[in-house]
A and B are shown apart, each in its own frame.
Chain A
């Protein structure tokens, strides 16, 4: 039954209220920070580069009074998916892989490249999840939406309603944990009635049949919830126009310097991590 609990340990998307200097930054600065950590995490070639990015994220978390253990706990629900990804890495043979074969089990070769790839994927995923977790822990929902509004605001000059797009993204953010809860409820309800989710079968047709009864009620529940949200928004007089903000984010010269520093850091670190020497040779 453990696999039915999707998000019990999910720290991704949970806001941690505290009065740190990181929390006090303007949304746009936080987005720049997210970018400055996520870009090198994605560009990193060897695993240790991604782990260095993760360590940096954890240091920022300390400054933000967010416990690093809280962020690391968020990695737990990703472990099964990660195991699957690593298994696929080892099981499939990759074109152009000429690295040393470490272990031969029948038709399956475990090569150095496959192991290094797995390590890189795991490290990248961990670095990215810590970074994203840090972002959502320090940026409240309204700040996330305000930040997207600020980022997209140049588009409104082209006639694209940026504030509406920002609201779409904000609602999507807000609904992912809600949907996780709903999905868990549906799966449990159906499992309690003896539904088979095809976990023990490799037959793809059975797996498709098993997931349809989850997908359809999930989407219907999502639509029902969206209906009540529409009602609530319209009852408060929203009709798709620009929304005024309660919070204002004054940006001082220190924060402007920080923004420039973050952009510079992103560029330099991407160059560094993508060229970092690999301990396993040149093919990485």
Chain B
């Protein structure tokens, strides 16, 4: 059965709000050893992609990217922030986070539900880090030799955090749904 369009719209809106909220309050940034903050702002995009499909993930990624663009323009917090005013660095890579996470999840979902969720968290997060760092290098804000060190220092802990949150949120949410917590008119059509 076709999934409810209304649910896609609402989940995209609400998870976009989570991403924007994390950015606005700076709750989504965690100071880290390497100097560049870790971010968990891309996690809503991953969760949205896993729950409602790649397009919803891309929309949430779009909002996340625009938030980071605005943030960099209004209140830069690090030497690299001016780079994020460029939408090719701040927005474009984030569009692909959700779809990548969805593909990783789709490949393994079903029997291996929990590992699939963890993997999609890791893949989505690494796509974010690698594409952003690659874009930074492409525009000359970083040199290419810094690519792997940054991906290791920031990308891996971010991927770990994303995997943990993704598994916790989606597994809990689907558990709730199975227990009948989901009381929607469209729930009948969904199944």
Q: Which A residues fall within an 8 A CB radius of B? A: 6, 42, 81-82, 84-85, 88, 92, 94-95, 121, 124-125, 128, 164-165, 167-176, 178-180, 183, 202, 204, 207-208, 211-212, 214-216, 218-220, 222-227, 229-231, 233-235, 238-240
Contact = CB atoms under 8 A, between A and B. Distances in A.
A97 B164 CA distance: 41
23 contacts: A42-B73, A81-B26, A85-B75, A85-B76, A92-B78, A125-B74, A168-B9, A169-B63, A171-B9, A172-B17, A212-B165, A212-B168, A218-B18, A220-B172, A222-B17, A223-B51, A224-B181, A225-B14, A229-B14, A230-B186, A234-B6, A234-B184, A240-B9
Interface string B95-137: 0000000000000000000000000000000000000000000
A233 B21 contact: no
A52 to B, nearest CB: 17
A230 B7 contact: yes
Contacts of B73: 42
Contacts of A175: 13-14, 17-18
Contacts of A121: 74-76
B89 interface: no
B13 A88 contact: no
Given A121-B75, A121-B76, A183 B6 contact: no
A222 B16 CA distance: 10
Contact of A219 (B12, B18, B76, B157): B18
Nearest to B40: A215
A9 B46 CA distance: 32
Contacts of B13: 167-172, 174-175, 226
B169 A219 contact: yes
Contacts of B24: 176
B10 A233 contact: yes
Contacts of B47: 219
B152 interface: no
B190 to A, nearest CB: 11
Contacts of A178: 17
Given A164-B5, A219-B165, A222-B18, A172 B173 contact: no
Q: Is the interface of B mostly helix, strand, loop or mixed?
A: helix
B178 to A, nearest CB: 14
B12 A168 contact: yes
A223 B20 contact: no
A231 B157 CA distance: 37
A124 B71 CA distance: 11
Interface of B: 4-7, 9-18, 20-22, 24-27, 30-33, 38, 40, 43-44, 47, 51, 59, 63, 73-79, 157, 161, 164-165, 168-169, 172-173, 176, 181-186
Given A208-B161, A223-B14, 20 more contacts: A121-B76, A164-B5, A168-B13, A168-B59, A172-B16, A172-B20, A183-B21, A215-B165, A216-B165, A216-B169, A218-B18, A219-B44, A220-B169, A223-B11, A229-B10, A231-B185, A233-B6, A234-B184, A240-B5, A240-B6
A231 B183 contact: yes
B11 to A, nearest CB: 5
B145 to A, nearest CB: 17
Contacts of A81: 25-26, 75
A174 B14 CA distance: 9
A95 B168 contact: no
Contact of B21 (A84, A170, A180, A226): A180
Nearest to A95: B79
Contacts of A223: 11, 14, 51, 169, 173
A39 B44 CA distance: 29
A54 to B, nearest CB: 13
A212 B162 CA distance: 10
